[in-house]
Amino acid sequence: MAAVEYCFNERQSLVTAVVHHISELLNEAIIERGSASFLVSGGSSPQAVYEALAERQLDWSKVVVALVDERWVTQEHAASNEAFIRRSLLQSCAAAARFIGMKTAAHSAEAGLQDCETWFAALPPKADVCLLGMGSDGHTASLFPYGAGLAHAMSSGDARCAVIHAQQSEVTGAHTERMSLTLPYLLAARQRILLITGSEKYAVYCAAKASSDFMSTPVSAVLNTDVDVDVDVYWAP
C-alpha cells in the first residue's frame, strides 16, 4: 500500500476534486453492489466537501452514512459530530441517505459500546469510502496518541467500535471520552481518503509517513500498513 498524494494551490480546488472523487466512488458502488457505505469524519476541514456533496445528484436513498468517531456528548451539543454531519451533509439531495451515529442513551461510552457495535454491524465488512482527517497531534478518527483504549482499538480483530479516553490537550478540548471505529475496520474500507489542510498538518503528515510508532502518531498506522489498497491524500495550504 502507498499514499497517493494530490496537492492543490488553494482549498476550493481541493474541495472540487474530493467531491468528484467521492461521488464517483459512491455511484460505482451503487451500480456494482446496489448500495454504498460512506464513513465520515467531523472537524472543520471537510465541511465544504459535505456541503457540496449534499447537492450531488446521487441515489442517496441507497447510501448509508456512518461516523468514524464521536465525542460522548448529546446530539444537541455543539461538539457533536452527529449534529455536524446532519447540518452539513444530510441536507438537500443527501437528506435521503440513511445515517448511523455512535452516541447512545448510555451514560458512558463503555456502557454504550455494545449498542454501537450492533448498529455498525449493519454495515458491510468493507465500507466503500472512508473519509479521514488528521489532527496536529497525529490522531485520526478518535485514535489519539497514547489514549486509554488505543492499543485495543488498533488491534481489535472483528470489533468495529472501540472506546477511547484521550489525554486532554488543545486538540481534544474538554471532551476526551470518545467512541471510534477501530483501525482494522478503517483499513478494511475499499477506498480511504485522508483530507489535510494547512502547512502545519502537512509537516505532521510527512513525519507520520516516516514513522512506525503508531502509539505516538496513530495516523501512521493508516499510512504504513500492508493493506493492499492505497490511501488517497488530498492537501491544500
- What domain range includes position 93? 3-236
What total number of domains does the chain contain?
A: 1
- The CATH number that applies at residue 36 is 3.40.50.1360
What is the pLDDT, as a whole number, of residue 156?
Answer: 81
| Residue pair 21/47 in contact by the 8 Å Cβ criterion | no
Please, where are the H alpha helices in the chain? Answer: 11-33, 47-53, 81-88, 109-120, 150-154, 183-187, 199-209, 220-223
Closest CA to 128 of 56, 67, 192: 192
State how far the Cα of 79 lies from the Cα of 124, in Å rounded to an integer.
28
Q: What is the pLDDT along the chain (237 residues), one digit of tens a residue?
A: 689 999 999 999 999 999 999 999 999 999 999 999 999 999 989 999 999 999 999 999 999 999 999 999 999 999 999 999 999 999 999 999 999 999 999 999 999 999 999 999 999 999 999 999 999 999 999 999 999 999 999 998 899 999 999 999 999 999 999 999 999 999 999 999 999 999 999 999 999 999 999 999 999 999 998 878 789 999 999
Closest CA to 193 of 138, 231, 136: 231
What is the pLDDT, as a whole number, of residue 16?
Answer: 98
What is the pLDDT, as a whole number, of residue 2?
Answer: 81
Q: Which three cell numbers stand for residue 186?
A: 478503517
Q: Which residues contact residue 210 at a Cβ distance below 8 angstroms, ignoring those fewer than 6 apart? A: none
| Residue pair 92/54 in contact by the 8 Å Cβ criterion | yes
3-state secondary structure of 36: strand
Q: Which three cell numbers stand for residue 89?
A: 451533509
Strand 129-132 relative to strand 98-100, pairing: unpaired
Closest CA to 69 of 151, 160, 4: 160
